Amino acid sequence: MSRKITAEDFLQIKMVSDPRISPDAGAIAYVVRRIDAEKTRNKYLSGIWVHDLETGTSLQFTGFDSSDSSPRWSPNGSTIAFLSDRNKPLSQIMVVPADGGEARTLTHNEVEGSISSIKWSPDGSRISFLFRATPEPFTKAAIEERKSKELPAPVRVHKALNYRYDGAGYADGSFLQIGVVDVATGDITILTSGDYHCDDPVWSPDSTTLAFVSDRNDDSDIEHGRSGIWLVPATGGELTEVPAPKGYKGSLSWSPDGAYFAYAGNPDLDDPWGTNNTRLFVLPSMGGAEARDLTGHTDRSVGYLTLGDVHDAGVGDDIQWSADSSKLYFPVGTFGDQIVCSVPLEGGDVTVLTPRTAEAGGFNLHAASGKMAVAIARPTRAQELGILTSDGSIEILSKHNDAWHAEVDLPEPEPVSPANGDGGTVPGWLLKPSDFDPSQRYPFVLYIHGGPHGQYGNTLFHELQWLASEGYVVLYTNPRGSKGYGEAHTKAIWGDWGGPDYKDLMAATDWAVAQGYVDEARTAVMGGSYGGYMTALIVGRTGRFQCAIADRLVSNRHSMSGTTDFAWRHELYFKGNSWDNPEPLWNCSPLSYAAGVTTPLLLIHSDGDLRCPIGQAEEMFAALRLQRKVVEFVRYPAETSHGMSRNGPPLLRLDRLNRNLEWLQRWLG
């Protein structure tokens, strides 16, 4: 007999990601991230597993008491390299024999910092990586020394706007640089320097050169989206820029024949919020010719767009090539689905490879055999390892969440598309309690996603399932402004948050109430980030909801524009600026509607949130409390960030869920 899902159940869910097929196509290495539910219940652990395709068995290789990630097979298949935190605070690259055995540290890096994006050279002699050093005053040793001498914390000096990043903290003049380590000797060479971030390093097919993406303009903190493609010899030397169109570039990939670069890009320099579809471009590796857009005709956006709270999505290489360099493979977020597609190098029709009504949250193509491994999730199934079959379905290979699924009842979300009153529809899903009786009337929750330019979709979302299990009818939608439904849908709220999106959300609520099983006297609205913004704006405009929860909200666009971790370019996406034309920013701020709030409002925010700083909640709380309105402010500590509800400390995530439920029960019964 299955049971209802509980708040604590997210502690049991395991997240599968980053599948990597071995060179002989006989095995798949992948990552399993879990919460240490047996001990502290407040720690994430990740380990490397290997699935044998012949025997059908999975074996854990690493990560029993540490966090290991990014498994990468050596070109000859004898070794798996991976990242490990077992030597904290030093991040290291480790290697383990592919047939089992003890892992050993390869890098022996004595500089504190973070390592990411590891890749073997095609000849197997070196591994490239990204490295950001921890500035010396903020290393563990320096902090402990100051503490022992009772000295104050060091002063921070900022010279550019990109001085902090949500989830990573303050940069303090440290930038992502490219390094290589010699596999035989462990010798490390850092290839780049300067006050510029490097990203997406990829090897040339002959192992002599690394290409990477970097915006090396001195005002890159002000004018975004001018990243270029650069080359550096693998042994060190001068950088060379490849002539390429301006605009955002990411997910760089070098074709096996060496003739082309592929990248995901947005050439519009005046689109700082990414309302355009991200497109797949190819460019001759020598540059000089205009990049060709292979996906613009589809009105689909390349990348991982689907939001969730119990998945690891977008881990791995976004753009992959066939062995003969004639075809490219890439992820697309569309109509709530997360799919893998392919397109010929010469352009033409885009082919959908993975199933609909699912989230392919990461994939790996074995170019020689054509096999494709996929990390797959569905609305009622947690992530597992799968492999694409010849008929386009996914064969599930792993069973990490089978025992949990066997005991928990998860209702299937019902796709809905109510009319929005402007000639369109509001795509979304309705979750009902598992014992739903249409003759009864239920309390109702409208849940609004963040972004705003992302999408809810066909993946497991623990919090929404749990709210339904507690007796609520839950409606979650992709109103205008969401991605996945074409550029016109996304651009509909360009600089106009609270316009068409507000109409869509109210129309969807009207539709739900009209179904007859929603109790109009017991309705709530809630959401996080942009969803928190819309929640606060809605209760300032209407008193139709009996309570509301605004999580990590934006309340004041004027103050937000200069305090977030990405300072806004003014007069582009939003009209107005913060110094001599503040009115447009203020007029669409929820704080400007605070006098009209009559709905009890719960504010959830984190001291460590650098995307929507804590002051956004403080301003709203003060404005409502000074008017003696019903408001509470739950403030989480500095070790939490903007993504606390998805990847914050597990016990604090659990605390947040229970506080949300208590608020709903207090006002809706």
Give the residue numbers annotated as catalytic, written as ranges: 529, 642
> Burial level of 580, CB count in 10 A (0-12/13-18/19+)?
exposed
SS3 at position 264 = strand
DSSP, residue by residue, 493-517: TTT-TTSHHHHHHHHHHHHHHHTSS
Separation CA 38–CA 36 (nearest Å): 6
Peptide bond into 613 cis (omega under 30): no
Maximum distance among all Cα pairs of the chain, rounded to whole angstroms: 74
Quote the radius of gyration of the chain (alpha carbons, Å): 25
E strands, 188-284, in order:
188-190, 199-203, 209-214, 228-233, 240-242, 248-254, 260-266, 279-284
d(C-alpha 217, C-alpha 205), whole Å: 29
Q: Please give the sequence-ordered ranges of beta strands (E in DSSP) within 449-568, or none if there are none.
A: 473-477, 518-528, 547-551
CA distance 617 to 155: 27
Q: Are 302 and 264 in contact (CB under 8 A)?
A: yes
Pairwise CA distance, residues 487 & 11, whole Å: 37
Alpha carbons 230 and 243: distance in angstroms, whole number? 9
Structure tokens, 183: 């596999």
Reduced to 3 states, what is the DSSP secondary structure of residue 668? helix
Length of the chain: 669
Query: Would you tell me how many other CB atoms lie within 10 Å of the CB of residue 414?
Result: 12
**Nearest one of 92, 121, 103 to 29, comparing CA atoms:** 103
Verify cis geometry, omega within 30 degrees of 0, for the bond prior to 452. yes
Asked whether the beta carbons of 132 and 176 are under 8 A apart, the reply is yes
Q: Which amino acid type is present at position 304?
A: Y
